[in-house]
Every structure is written in structure tokens, then in C-alpha cells.
Amino acid sequence: MTETAVNAAHAESTAQVAGRRVRRWRGIVLPVLALVVVAVLLAALRPEATGGYLDPESPADTGSRALAEITRQNGTPVIKIRTVREAQPLGAFGDSDDLLVVVRSERLTGGDLRRLSRASADLLLVEPTDAALERLAPGVSRATAGEGEAEPACSLAEARAAGTVSFGTSQVFTAPGGALSCYPAGDEKLPRLVRIPGPRTITVLGSGEPLVNGELREQGNAALGMNLLDGHPRVIWLMPDLPSEEEAGDKSLTELIPPGVSLFFWQLLVAAVLLALWRMRRLGPVVIERLPVAVRSAETVEGRSRLYRAARARDRAALALRESARERLVPLLGLPRSAAADPARSQQIITLVTSRAGWDQQTASWALYGPDPVDDTELVRLTDLLDDLEERLR
């Protein structure tokens, strides 16, 4: 083979290998990139819940300054606090008829929730976390989510006066017995707003959209917000700061990870498993590739023998020698090739070898079906016997 032909074959083989690698990885990389793009788009289109979201002093579209100002003009002071401790001197934990509005409850620590559970003021929980519901609204739990507008469909005066409300994407809840459930969503009619009456009235609102500046003009949003804040001497609006590292120490890692991040990685894992199953079903036949250069058969034999010697695999070497010898000998004995690997034909092969080669039965049996050699000398002796047997039968 000339040097030009060798180079051409090598180049062709390299191109084929590169093409196969590209096709193999393309089926994995493209779905992963698609998932990343979808996740980025969903994150970009999702309404921001950072910065001044539901802040009674923020004039941004996501803030709640407009509702707070309307409430003040109606004669009800709105006091913003940043920590639960600030509610103590305001009387929220004493004999109080005030309303304590709790937003951004994901920033509250376990200690904050325990203190709030002892407050005597009425509570309005906006988009509460599971931990906040468990502590502050026993019996109420988050279910799925609802979309769009809804009618009150309940006897709560504040909701009936407001009428239809635009909630956007909202949490929906399962409510305990005796609670008022308003603004049902979905086929199961689960409520977006739950009112638990009692010595301390607890109201759970699944969406902050009816309270923010940019949505007050939609449907009865402004009316619902004012009705929920009205009827109290004061409104104490808890807009908690991010907890310090020491304060947040009682939260586990899973509680600190945003739900969207966990959902993205679960989707990625499911997609990877489905892709692996899909690729497993597409495995085709083995492709025979032309070698870029010619390799002598003797080199292959020598290479394999060196591997056997390095691993001291005399058993594997003897097995390979005996199997190859039987495959070459059975046609010379007038037997089909399948007889070489058939244990039931072993005695027949030994008998024919004994009669035609002039060997005794014990030697023929050891050479073709004997035990593994104990050392290299015995392996060499086996090789010589098999070569001699093949020459005698030809």
C-alpha cells in the first residue's frame, strides 16, 4: 500500500469518525440546549417578585403604594415594618384589632413564624409559603395553581362587594371546615381566597396581583384590596428583609432553593432518562470500518499473546488455541463445523483423532479438551501438540 493511499484512507477514516461523533452528540446536546432556552424564556417572562414587590412604599408596578395611600385617605393608617420584632411595640401581640399583612413570607425564619403565630391581630397572608400556612393558617394547604379572572362565589362581604377580580397566576388552596372559600379555580373549584373566622380572623390570598399598583385598575382588584384592609384601626404591613445568615440557619438547603430551579433540574433529569431510553432503542448493527493501514495477522497474534502473557492468562490462551484447533480439524475429520463447539461431540472427535493421527486417546483428549496449563512450559507443549496434530491430519 503506497503512502498516498494510506494517507487517503486515514483521512477518510478520520472524517467518518468525526461525523459519527457529531451525530451521536447532536442527539444529546440539542435537547439540553432546548431545555435551557425554554427555562431562560420562562424566567424572563415570569413576573418579577423581587425588589419592591408588594412593598407599600414602592411606586413601581409591582409595588403596593397606591393601595396603601388609598387606605390612608380612607382614614386607616398603614405602618410598614421590616421585622416581626417591630410589631411587638405596635401592639400586634396584645389585645389588638389591627390587621397584620404578611407578604414575602419566604423571607421569614422559623422563629419569625412562631412569634407571628402568637399575635392577636388579624392576619392577611399574601402568597404564603407552605411553612407560613402550617404555622399561621392551620388546615389550609396549597394545592395547584389558577389563572385569570374569577367571580367570588362565596358569602364573604368583602369579596361580593368587589365582584370579579383579576388574579393572574395564583395559588389555590384546600380549606378546612368552617372556612369561607372564595374565587374558585379549575374543575375542582379550589379557592384563591380563604377566610378563617375566629377570635383572630385569618385571610389567605393566593395572589398579590390584586394589591399591586399596575393591576389596581383591572376588574375589582382595587375594591378587593381596600375591602380586605378596611375595618381595622391600623394596618401593619410586614415587608420582611432578607434574613441574615444566622437567622436563616434553621432552613434546610431544599427550602432555600427556589421552586423553579428544582423544577428545571427535575425536567432536565427526566429528559436525560428519556433520551437515554430513546438512544438505546436506536442501536443499529455493528459497522465494519476499514483500517487506515494494513496490519499483518502475525502482528495481531503477537499483540494478543503479549496481553495474555502480561496478564498470566494461560487459561484464556489455552482455550483460544484449543477452540481454533478444533474449528480447523473438524472439517478434516469429516464433521460439520458446529461439532467443534458441541460438548456432546467431544468423544467422537477424540476417537477420530486417535484413529487417524495414531495418538493414544489420553493425549488426544488432553490436547483438545484438557485442563488449563499450570505454567508456560505446559502451554508451549500444548501449542506444539496442536501443531503436530494438524500436520498429521492434513
The two most distant CA atoms of the chain are separated, in Å, by 122
Positive or negative, the CA dihedral 131, 136, 138, 144 is negative
Interatomic CA distance for residues 62 and 211, integer angstroms: 9
- pLDDT at 7 (0 to 100): 44
Burial of 149-186, coded b for 16+ CB within 10 Å and e otherwise, reads ebebebebebbeebeebbbbebbbbebeeebbbbbbbe
* pLDDT attached to residue 3: 44
User: If we measure between CA atoms, which residue out of 219, 215, 229 comes closest to residue 151?
Assistant: 219
DSSP H or E stretch at residue 365: helix 361-369
Residues 309-363 pLDDT 10s: 888 888 888 888 899 889 988 888 888 888 888 888 889 888 888 888 888 888 8
* d(C-alpha 126, C-alpha 212), whole Å: 12
Rounded Cα distance between 21 and 28, Å, is 11
Burial of 112 (0-12, 13-18, 19+ CB in 10 A): buried
Please tell me the predicted confidence (pLDDT) of residue 251.
55
CA dist., res. 196 & res. 199, Å (int): 10
CA–CA–CA angle 310, 315, 317 (5° rounding): 65
Ranges in the chain, pLDDT < 50: 1-12, 47-50
Percent helix, strand and coil across the chain, each to the nearest 5: 50, 10, 35
What is the value of pTM for the model shown? 0.53
